[in-house]
């Protein structure tokens, strides 16, 4: 047992020695701005130092061992601060990219839907639209990013689209209140903490929905099931001389066809409405809980 403790201590001291040596390398890279062109260098140097230290354990000896451990801790602190700086830097870059994408938008639409994975954008009604230039600028200013994150498997909710001259220039959806997924980018744009709070508050006030981290939105849908119900409603009108069905009529038609009726999750219920031109729309309402 004593031998194991000694070995662990030797490995830790070996790591400290190499971290101490790596500190001077990283300081030089920062002074000569190498790390600004290759941001991963400080992290790689620290990782190499750890690996070499594990491979070359040394017994602590001499009056400099305390100093060696001190400089090793300083090195780890510098690498931690560098990571914090880099993450913030990438956030600044993403803010600039986002601003460039939406700067010419003349309309913003908050959709009762999500991303392109299952959504049919033109069939989804809007929860709120912004056309005033000042309001568009204020809405855009709420989106501040702190970096990227791996995409989740859901479609997101609600959908947020930016338009210019009658065409969508950005199609996106909020994901779990923490990120914005812009179609065509392949990853999630992670929202800064303050942005999450501002956007969630704005959605509650203007759209009656929430995407906060702690709860579900008031209207959350499974797109495949909604489209199935909408298709059945349209089919019912065709076979019943244009009469608009109730949700009960639609469910009865599905049962008569020998299929199971989709169920709305988390204690909610499906509701069926029609647009002015007679297009059916199904939404799944869920009681909102803070």
User: Angle CA(198)–CA(202)–CA(205) in degrees, nearest 5?
Assistant: 140
**Number of helices followed by number of strands (H, E) in the chain:** 8, 9
Among 1.10.260, 3.30.2010, 2.60.40, 3.30.450, what is the CATH number of 103-207? 2.60.40
Q: Under 8 Å CB-to-CB from 142, ≥6 apart: which residues?
A: 195, 198, 199, 202
DSSP code for 126 = E
Backbone torsion region of residue 85, taken as left when φ is above 0, otherwise alpha when ψ lies between -120 and 50, otherwise beta: alpha
For residues 194 and 211, what is the distance between their CA atoms, to the nearest angstrom? 14
For residues 47 and 6, what is the distance between their CA atoms, to the nearest angstrom? 23
Assess whether the previous peptide bond of 83 is cis (omega < 30° from 0). Answer: no
Cβ atoms of 133 and 169 within 8 Å: the answer is no
The per-residue b/e assignment along 245-255, b for 16 or more CB within 10 angstroms, e otherwise, is: bebebbbebbe
Residue by residue, what is the 3-state secondary structure of 178-235? CEEEECCCCCEEEECHHHHHHHHHHHHHHHCCCCCCCCCCCECCCHHHHHHHHHHHHH
For residues 273 and 124, what is the distance between their CA atoms, to the nearest angstrom? 12
The per-residue b/e assignment along 77-113, b for 16 or more CB within 10 angstroms, e otherwise, is: ebbeebeeebeeebbeebbeebeebbeebebbbbbbb
pLDDT < 70 stretches in the chain: 1-6, 36, 61-62, 85, 87-89, 117-120, 150, 186, 212-224, 264-268, 284-290
Please tell me the predicted confidence (pLDDT) of residue 217: 42
* Tokens representing residue 244 in the block: 């608009």
Please tell me the predicted confidence (pLDDT) of residue 125: 76
Please tell me the predicted confidence (pLDDT) of residue 267: 56
DSSP code for 158 = S
Cross-strand partners of 167: 164
For residues 118 and 191, what is the distance between their CA atoms, to the nearest angstrom? 23
Of 213, 214, 148, the closest CA to residue 181 belongs to 148
Assess whether the previous peptide bond of 158 is cis (omega < 30° from 0). Answer: yes
Name the strand (E) or helix (H) holding 130. Answer: strand 126-130
For residues 232 and 250, what is the distance between their CA atoms, to the nearest angstrom? 6
């Amino acid at each position: 047992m004593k031998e194991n403790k000694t070995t662990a201590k030797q490995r830790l001291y070996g790591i400290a020695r190499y971290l101490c040596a790596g500190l001077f390398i990283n300081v030089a890279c920062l002074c000569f701005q190498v790390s600004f062109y290759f941001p991963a260098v400080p992290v790689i140097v620290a990782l190499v130092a750890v690996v070499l230290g594990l491979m070359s354990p040394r017994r602590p000896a001499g009056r400099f061992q305390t100093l060696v451990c001190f400089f090793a801790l300083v090195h780890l602190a510098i690498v931690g601060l560098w990571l914090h700086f880099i993450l913030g830097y990438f956030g600044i870059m993403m803010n600039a990219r986002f601003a460039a994408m939406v700067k010419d938008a003349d309309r913003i639409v908050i959709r009762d839907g999500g991303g392109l994975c299952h959504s049919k954008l033109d069939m989804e009604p809007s929860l709120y639209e912004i056309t005033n230039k000042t309001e568009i600028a204020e809405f855009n200013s709420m989106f501040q990013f702190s970096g990227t994150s791996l995409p989740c498997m859901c479609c997101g909710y609600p959908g947020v689209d930016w338009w210019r001259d009658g065409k969508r220039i950005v199609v996106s959806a909020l994901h779990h209140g923490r990120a914005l997924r812009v179609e065509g980018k392949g990853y999630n744009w992670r929202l800064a903490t303050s942005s999450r709070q501002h956007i969630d508050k704005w959605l509650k006030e203007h759209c009656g929905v929430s995407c906060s981290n702690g709860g579900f939105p008031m209207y959350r849908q499974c797109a495949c099931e909604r489209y199935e119900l909408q298709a059945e409603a349209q089919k019912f009108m065709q076979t019943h001389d244009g009469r608009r069905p109730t949700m009960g009529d639609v469910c009865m038609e599905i049962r008569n066809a020998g299929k199971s009726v989709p169920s709305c999750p988390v204690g909610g219920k499906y509701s069926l409405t029609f647009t002015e031109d007679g297009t059916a729309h199904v939404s799944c309402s869920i009681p909102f809980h803070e």
